Structure 1
Amino acid sequence: MIALTSLWQIPLCMFLAKKLGMLGTVLINVGVGFGLNVMAVKTSMWWISPYSWTTRIMCPILGILPNGELAGIGDSLRNPVVIPIGTILSIILFALLLIVTANWFKKQEVN
């Protein structure tokens, strides 16, 4: 599930690496990923931030909160409804980014 819900980052990072280089890509991914993940994962709007999807899906699968503590029996983060939602959103975003970046890379000149 972690690999599946993180697939959308591959075309995004390839595009960013071409535009900004490796250091810029890493800094943006770590900064935005850390910020959006922490802010969104425990809210009801978690589905808006792609960086929170993997973390949110792992809560009901593993029974562990994002901070590493065990989730209680009645904890709202253990709701398994988020699993198909996050998975479908990840696949859709991956497909969209793949199409957009594939078209962008196709237009690039070969060096």
Structure 2
Amino acid sequence: MKRYFRAEKLKYRHTFLKGIVVLMPLISVFFSAMLTHAYFAVDSYNWWYMILYPGMLGIVCGMIGGKDKRKKNFTIWSLPCSMEKIWDAKVLLGAALSGIAVGITIILTIIMGQFMESALHMKFIIQPSLKMQLTAGLLMWLTTLWQIPFCLLLSQKMGTFVMLLIHMGSYAIISAAISLKPWFAALPGAITSRLMCPVLGILPNGLPAVEGQMTYSPELMELQNLMIGLPAAILWFLILWLVSRKWFERQVTV
């Protein structure tokens, strides 16, 4: 498996794939610092997992899946290799790049927050602790892994542009609306924004998760949401991985 992963990485050595992984977190942190000030940290994360992160994952998966697809996958189907392992390598590469992007976002947000507070003497209305920010980063990564096989599969079947429209459009609606429902774990796109309510104190609409705010309810702040949402997100990831893996392998035999 290690050889498949290394081979997949080599395909994108001279592409902008790594640049996207760095650029998108920079955009989230920079614009949050410039535009929101007192709500910097929470807006940096909210803009990230609600808009920029799913968009970045869609672009990354489009690039990972699109390179071979432009040649109708003949370059890999003609090889004496396991198609399932090739697909696994694509998923694992997407997961690794996803983790790097989240890590960059967390580090930049923490550093920028400390700079704004100590050098610029800004006071934040909401400032999650370091522990909460690190926990949020881990949860963001784990609860969005399902997007990688999902977007890879859609890009193979429909192309990158259509995949981005479907993924971004559905995610925006689900993460904002369905995440407020008791059955949020039934749709993977609702899980991340729901779990950020008790962890970071942010509602899906970006407002502080306090009584009196629009869409707030005490149920959103219950820690048992973590016990429901995290296993559900991992289960969704495994299901989508196995389904997409089987589909990709069948393209050679049909």
Question: Would the TM-score normalized by the shorter structure come out above 0.5?
Answer: yes
TM-score (normalised: structure 2): 0.41
Q: Report which stretch shifted further, 16-25 or 67-76.
A: 67-76
Q: What is the one-letter code of the residue matched to 1:39?
A: A
Q: Report which stretch shifted further, 36-45 or 96-105.
A: 36-45
Shift of 1:99: 1.0
Alignment of 1:43-62 (within 5 A): 43-62=181-200
| 2:223 is the alignment partner of 1:80 | yes
| 2:167 is the alignment partner of 1:29 | yes
| 2:149 is the alignment partner of 1:6 | no
CA distance in 1, matches of 2:243, 2:178: 26
RMSD after superposition:
1.5
Aligned to 2:247: 104
Q: Computing the radius of gyration over CA atoms, which structure comes out larger, 1 or 2? A: 2
Aligned residues of 1:37 and 1:49 also touching (Cα < 8 A): no
Shift of 1:83: 0.8
CA distance in 2, matches of 1:76, 1:88: 19
**Any gaps of 5 or more consecutive residues in structure 1?**
none
**Any gaps of 5 or more consecutive residues in structure 2?**
1-138, 212-216
CA distance in 2, matches of 1:7, 1:41: 17
Shift of 1:108: 2.3
CA distance in 2, matches of 1:100, 1:66: 29
Q: Report which stretch shifted further, 71-80 or 88-97.
A: 71-80
Identity of aligned residues (%): 35
Aligned residues of 2:185 and 2:233 also touching (Cα < 8 A): no
Q: What is the one-letter code of the residue matched to 1:30?
A: M
CA distance in 1, matches of 2:191, 2:173: 13
Aligned residues of 1:57 and 1:83 also touching (Cα < 8 A): yes
Aligned to 1:65: 203
Aligned residues of 2:201 and 2:209 also touching (Cα < 8 A): yes
CA distance in 1, matches of 2:250, 2:185: 32
Give the structure with the larger helix fraction.
Answer: 2
CA distance in 2, matches of 1:58, 1:69: 12
Q: Report which stretch shifted further, 73-82 or 3-12.
A: 73-82
CA distance in 2, matches of 1:50, 1:97: 11
How many residue pairs match? The answer is 109
- Compare relative contact order (CA 8 Å, sep 6+) and give the higher one, 1 or 2: 1
